[in-house]
Amino acid sequence: MLKIISYKICPFVQRVTAMLEAKQMPYQIDYISLKDKPDWFLDVSPNGQVPVLITENGTALFESDAIVEYIDEIAPPMHPGLTPEQKAIERAWSYQAAKNYLVQCSTMRSHDKATLEERAEKLSALFGKAEQQLSGEGFFSGAQIGNVDMAWLPLLHRANIIERHAGYDFLKGFPTVKAWQKRLLETGLAEKSVSEDFEKLFVEFYLSDQTYLGSGKCCDSPKVDVCKTGACC
């Protein structure tokens, strides 16, 4: 069985596990602390980062882009029959998402409004590109879910959690992306691709009192139920 070495709130890991879930491939997952990386992990991970995938042959694969390509090689593709050009386009749009995971992470950890707004502009530019690309129906490349959707899922899942808990909408002004986010979340893959305590750990880290989003001052349009909990206003 495939084994994933993971950190619980890492978006790069979620991209990999979401693909495994979408393809219904069995896997085992082991969690580590990035503050105290075990020696055995450093021995198999040249870059010292998660995810790492241990193949059934015991080979350690690293870098999420390489891992998802490997998974596509050993399992039937979600979009069979794509031409080389179409595959390249899907990889490019997947890369657009993955290279912004850390942008989203740093944005959510912003300590003040000015920093949040400055960093959020980069995400808005990204979501604006997707808004122009999406058809408005189904998923990114059509009626069937595919690799691009799995790459964007971590961004859209985290944006949804932030909106629900803090009232701040990263997708404001992008109705087509918002509808895509809804369809993706309705598949259940977001929950299946993370640990049971993922949302709790995520909120504790990104909506702590050290962040502007966690301070309760960020709400675009505060929701009554959110504010009653004290998580927002």
Average pLDDT over residues 149-153: 98
The letter for the amino acid at 204 is E
8 Å CB contact between 68 and 77: no
Is the pLDDT reported for residue 232 higher than 70?
Answer: no
Three-class SS string for 124-183? HHHHHHHHHHCCCCCECCECCCCHHHHHHHHHHHHHHHHHHHHCCCCCCCCHHHHHHHHH
Bridge pairing between strands 2-6 and 52-54: antiparallel
8 Å CB contact between 22 and 78: yes
Instruction: Give the pTM.
Output: 0.91
Residue pLDDT, tens place only, 162-198: 999 999 999 999 999 999 999 999 999 999 999 999 9
pLDDT score recorded for residue 219: 58
| Coil, helix or strand at residue 6 | strand
Active-site option among 10, 105, 232, 233: 10
Question: What count of residues does the chain have?
Answer: 233
- Here the tokens at position 46 are 């040249």
Residue pLDDT, tens place only, 20-32: 999 999 999 999 9
User: Ramachandran region of residue 147, left (φ > 0), alpha (ψ -120 to 50) or beta?
Assistant: alpha
pLDDT band at 223 (very low <50, low <70, confident <90, very high): very low
Residues whose CB is less than 8 angstroms from the CB of residue 30 and which lie 6 or more positions away in sequence, other chains included: 3, 4, 5, 6
The vertex-94 CA angle with 90 and 95, nearest 5°, equals 120
Q: How far is CA 58 from CA 31, 52, 113, 191, in A?
A: 18, 12, 47, 28
- Here the tokens at position 106 are 């740093």
In the residue annotation, 219 being an active-site residue is answered as no
